[in-house]
Amino acid sequence: MSSAITLREITKVYGTFTAVDRFSLEVERGTVFGLLGPNGAGKTTLIKILTTLMRPTSGDAVVEGHSILTAAKKVREVIGVVPQENNLDRYLTARENLVLHGKLHGMSAARYNPRIDELLEMTGLTSRQHDFPDTFSGGMQRRLVVARSLVHNPLVLFLDEPTTGLDPQSRRALWDYIRQLRHSMTVFLTTHYMDEADTLCDRIVIMDNGVSLADGSAAALKEALSHAHVYEVELCGDGAAYQKILEEQPFITSIERSENCLRLTLNGEKSLKPLMDVIAGADLKRISLKEPSLEDVFIALTGKKVRNA
C-alpha cells in the first residue's frame, strides 16, 4: 500500500486532558478517507496536527513523505485545507481570494490564472468571480473555500466538516466536487453526517475519546453490526414513556426516538421475544425489521448520537 498519510502514536494532551491518545493510522494515496466521531472526539485536534497548525504532545505524522515535526513547511506546500469555518477575505472578490492564495504559494500569474479559471468553472462560480464573498450563499462560500484550497494543486486535501450548515442541495453539489477529486489526490475529511461518509468515503474510522473504535468501508462497518437486529417500533402514543422502559432492558444496545417511533438495536435474534414481552401492553401501530445503517453502527460503538448540525 502506498500511504499518503501516516500517523504514528499521535497523542495530544491539553493540560491534564488527553484529547488524542496514541492514534496510529495509514491513509492510502488517492482515496477518500473519513473520520467520524461525536462532538469532542478529537477529530479537529487531529486535523490541526496533520495540517501543522498544532504540534502533538508526542508521536509523529508523515504527509506525502514529509514529517509534520521536522518538515512542516514542506507539509504545508503539499496540502490543501478547508477549515470548519469559512475564512475568506471579505474585502477581496472571489477571484482575488484565489489569486492571493496562489501568490502565497509562490505561483506565477501564468500558473495560477488558468488554474483559477478551471476551479471557478468546476465549482460553478465563474459568473460570480468578481463579486465579494459576503454576497454569496453559504453553499457558494463553501465552494469558494474548496476552490481556494485547490489552487496550488495539493496532493492531500483536508476537509473539516465540509458541508455542516449547508442545505441538502448545496451539500450534494459539494459532494459532486469532492467525488471529482477522487484518485487525483488523497482526501481526508471529518463529518458528522453518516450519509456523507457512506456515499463519499472509501474508508471510515470512527473515533471517540481520542481513540479509534472501528475502521473499514461503510459496507464492512455495517456488516460488522449484522449480528445486531434493528427494529422500528411505532406506537399510537406514549413513545417517551416506552423509551424510558426500553432503556432499562439489557438486550437493547441503543434507542433512538422520533415522536412515537422508536428505532431499537437489539443485541441478537433471541432478544425479539423479550422485546415483545416488554411492549405487549402497548398500543402498537407497526413493528418492522431494518437494515443497520452507518448511524446504527456509530451509536452501537460510541453510545452517542451524532450531532445534528
Ligand X SMILES: Nc1ncnc2c1ncn2[C@@H]1O[C@H](COP(=O)(O)OP(=O)(O)OP(=O)(O)O)[C@@H](O)[C@H]1O
Angle at 176 between CA 143 and CA 223, to 5 degrees: 125
> Locate cell 500500500: which residue?
1
> Which residues lie below 8 Å from residue 133, measured CB to CB, with a gap of 6+?
86, 88, 89, 90, 92, 94, 97, 141, 144
Residue from the set 11, 21, 30, 40 that interacts with ligand X by CB under 6 A? 40
83 near ligand X (CB under 6 A): no
Closest CB 164 distance from ligand X, rounded Å: 9
Residue from the set 34, 37, 80, 102 that interacts with ligand X by CB under 6 A? 37
- Which cell numbers hold the place of 258? 422520533
44 near ligand X (CB under 6 A): yes
Residue from the set 5, 27, 33, 42 that interacts with ligand X by CB under 6 A? 42
Considering beta carbons, is residue 18 or 293 the nearer one to ligand X?
Answer: 18
Helices H, strands E: what count in the chain?
11, 14
DSSP string for residues in 63-75:
ETTEETTT-HHHH
Residue from the set 31, 45, 52, 129 that interacts with ligand X by CB under 6 A? 45
Closest CB 286 distance from ligand X, rounded Å: 34
Spatial contact of 17 and 188, defined as CB atoms under 8 Å apart: no
String marking each residue 136-155 x if it binds ligand X according to CB under 6 A: --------------------
User: What DSSP character marks residue 268?
Assistant: S
- Which cell numbers hold the place of 130? 468578481
Angle at 134 between CA 129 and CA 140, to 5 degrees: 55
Considering beta carbons, is residue 42 or 292 the nearer one to ligand X?
Answer: 42
Closest CB 229 distance from ligand X, rounded Å: 29
Stretch near ligand X under the rule CB under 6 A, chosen from 42-50, 91-99, 139-147, 193-201: 42-50
Closest CB 161 distance from ligand X, rounded Å: 7
Point out which residues bind ligand X (CB under 6 A): 14, 17, 19, 37, 39-45
